[in-house]
Amino acid sequence: MRLLTIAALLATLPLAAAAAPTWQTISSEPGKRIELDRTSIKRDGNTVQAQGRIVLEKELIDTRSGGGYRVIEAITRYDCGSRSANTIKRIFKKNETEVVREEDLKGSELPVRSGTLDDKVLREVCRPPKESQAEIAQKANEAASQLKQANEALLKAEMAKAEKPGPVKTADAGHGATPAAAKEEEKSAIPSIRPNIKPALEIPKTPPPPPPAPPPQKVAAPAKSATVVVRHSTPAAKPKQTAKSEGYMLELAHTDPAKQHAGIHWDYEGVGGPENWSKIDPKNTSCAIGQRQSPIDIKEGIKVDVEPIKFNYRPSTFRIVDTGKTVQVAIGESSISLTGKNYELVEFHFHRPSEEKVNGQRFEMVVHLTHKSDDGQLAVVAVLLERGNENPLIQTLWNNMPLEKNLEVSPPTPIIDLMTLLPASPNYYTYMGSLTTPPCTEGVLWLIMKQPVQVSQEQINIFSRLYKNNARPIQPTAGRLIKEGR
């Protein structure tokens, strides 16, 4: 029985070794390591396809799947002549084996900037053939000897176990009967998947120019029995293409979202869109992982008597600014009181359509009046706007719309009275949520007036000229309690 086990194990070893990539560290820096699977390298003239990966020290959260990952593998095509890269696949993994998410990319070829992670891999895979041959042969020999040692150690361990009385494994124990044990064995048999098995290679300071095309040569890699055809041809100049983050392999692929999106401003669509808010700035983590986010679809609230909000809004002159995300207005001292607490009005602004839904329906627009208490608690009063008659207060604001973004206008004369913006009914919905813009801070008390007020089509059109859609998508309610004033 025991002999059978070992025989089965030995029979499966070479297969297991051949199937697994042999990761070789090509660069180490604080927090991460860049590795290359040389057996994955496929050359076609000046084009080299290779599988690389980043191994992170700390796990990061994949915002799309919610899973944690420490390894990002990427298959990238490099053009050694024009020094461009095109990543075609990325795999996010929790560890060596567990896949969190895979993505196929339709990126275009992008120029590789010097000093980036892509640059390091490109230099590795585009080395001149002479150097590569010798190196590949050497690496292959090293790998072979490591594999041999590991196999011998494993065999010894198996023999030692076999001599001890113990639970008897079935004949096919190599890979299956005891998955955990088999996994361990597989791991130790493949030294190259262990982290940092090799020191970082010396990377030439400048990319070596490809020499005139030599005849194709074959180099046999003994251990892996992998045949690598190394061939370089004269570089063919390629037209430069506009940079898109999609095409980069490791550098833009992952890990350092803050750096990756540095300089990108949050927005309602495109690369700065809501799904990327958390990646733009580490301060925005709540946008992705918060459990009490806004806006929500307001429905199935408990119908109760809610304490009326006391509005202490005073007629005032105003300051108005087009922030690039909305039209925002500030007025003189005003506040609300609720449950014995006073909240100062900070500003109010507009969204189109309304961010919040009520029973699945959005409104044409919404006004958010943001308040803050002395102890820092935020309370936002939402006034829903439906199409109807012209709204005099909104008309005053639109009349004073700044001509330029981020240029605050403080007209000296018109006075606005925010009390005239409020609906007749004091009833409202309330729940705990968040800011609907980065950093998506939670702990915000939402007070949504049940009765909408009217705004004319013309007034909606004016706002649409500036902002067609500045509403964050609906967030999961996740079992939060909603109160509905009855």
For 314-354, where are the E strands, in sequence order? 318-322, 327-331, 335-338, 341-351
Smallest gap from residue 436 Cβ to Zn ion (A): 5
Determine, following the binding rule CB under 5 A, whether residue 368 of this chain makes contact with Zn ion: yes
State in angstroms the smallest separation of the CB of 471 from Zn ion.
Answer: 9
Provide the mask over 135-174, with x wherever binding to Zn ion is found by CB under 5 A and - wherever it is not: ----------------------------------------
Distance between the two ends of the chain, CA-based, in angstroms?
A: 76
The residues near 347 (Cβ < 8 Å, ≥ 6 apart) are: 328, 329, 330, 369, 370
Contacts to Zn ion from residues 239-278, by CB under 5 A: none
Kindly give, in sequence order, each residue whose CB lies less than 8 Å from that of residue 71, ignoring residues fewer than 6 positions away: 53, 54, 55, 56, 92, 93, 94, 95, 96
Piece in contact with Zn ion (CB under 5 A), picked from 52-60, 287-295, 362-370, 476-484: 362-370
- Kindly state the smallest distance separating residue 379's Cβ from Zn ion, in Å: 13
Give the range of 132-140, 233-241, 363-371, 438-446 binding Zn ion by CB under 5 A.
363-371
Shortest distance, position 84 Cβ to Zn ion, whole Å: 42
Residue 390's contacts (CB-CB under 8 Å, 6 or more residues apart) are: 454, 455, 456, 458, 459
Nearer to Zn ion, 247 or 295 (CB): 295
Q: Which is nearer to Zn ion, 352 or 368 (CB)?
A: 368
Among 142-150, 208-216, 239-247, 367-375, the segment contacting Zn ion (CB under 5 A): 367-375
Check residue 362 for interaction with Zn ion (CB under 5 A): no
Q: What's the min distance (Å) between Cβ of 476 and Zn ion? A: 19
Phi, psi of 112 (to 5 degrees): -90, 125
Span from 26-34, 133-141, 226-234, 361-369 in contact with Zn ion (CB under 5 A) = 361-369
User: Which residue number, 175 or 368, has a Cβ lying nearer to Zn ion?
Assistant: 368
CB of residue 362 vs Zn ion: minimum separation in angstroms? 14
Structure tokens at 287: 């946008």
Select 198 or 368, whichever has its Cβ closest to Zn ion: 368
Least Å distance, CB 468 to Zn ion, is 16
Instruction: Based on the shown chain and the rule CB under 5 A, indicate whether residue 371 belongs to the binding site for Zn ion.
Output: no
Query: In 3D, which of 24, 51, 17, 54 has the Cα closest to residue 226?
Result: 17
Q: Which residue has the tokens 């004319």?
A: 456
323: left (phi over 0), alpha (psi -120 to 50) or beta: alpha
Quick one: 116 or 323, whose CB is closer to Zn ion? 323
Per 3-state DSSP, the chain is made up of helix, strand and coil in percentages (nearest 5) of 25, 30, 40
Of 380 and 416, the one with the shorter C-beta distance to Zn ion is: 380
- Using the minimum distance from each CB to Zn ion, give the nearer residue, 292 or 368: 368
Burial of 387 (0-12, 13-18, 19+ CB in 10 A): middle
Q: How far apart are CA 230 and CA 132, in angstroms?
A: 8
Residues binding Zn ion: number (CB under 5 A): 1
Residue 333, CA distances (Å) to 307, 313, 401, 418, 448 in order: 23, 8, 22, 12, 22
**Residue 136 vs 369, nearer CB to Zn ion:** 369
- Give the nearest distance from C-beta 341 to Zn ion in angstroms: 21
Are 146 and 231 a contacting pair, CB within 8 Å?
no
* Least distance (Å) between residue 385 CB and Zn ion: 13
Q: Give the CB-nearest residue to Zn ion.
A: 368
Amino acid letter, residue 401: M
Closest distance to Zn ion from the beta carbon of 175 (Å): 56
- Whole-number minimum distance, CB 329 to Zn ion, in Å? 12
* Residues contacting 404, CB < 8 A, separation 6+: 322
**In the complex, what is the shortest distance from the CB of residue 347 to Zn ion, in angstroms, rounded to a whole number?**
10
Reduced to 3 states (helix: H, G, I; strand: E, B; else coil), residue 66 is coil
> Given the complex with Zn ion, which of 93 and 368 has the nearer CB atom?
368
Separation of alpha carbons 147 and 16, rounded Å: 11
- Which residue number, 23 or 431, has a Cβ lying nearer to Zn ion? 431
Smaller CB separation from Zn ion, 189 or 447: 447
Candidate ranges 121-129, 158-166, 224-232, 366-374; the one touching Zn ion (CB under 5 A): 366-374
Question: What is the spatial distance between Cα 22 and Cα 20, in angstroms, rounded to a whole number?
Answer: 6
Question: Which tokens is 135 given?
Answer: 């190196």
Which CB atom, from 224 or from 368, has the smaller least distance to Zn ion? 368
Q: Which residues contact Zn ion (rule: CB under 5 A)?
A: 368
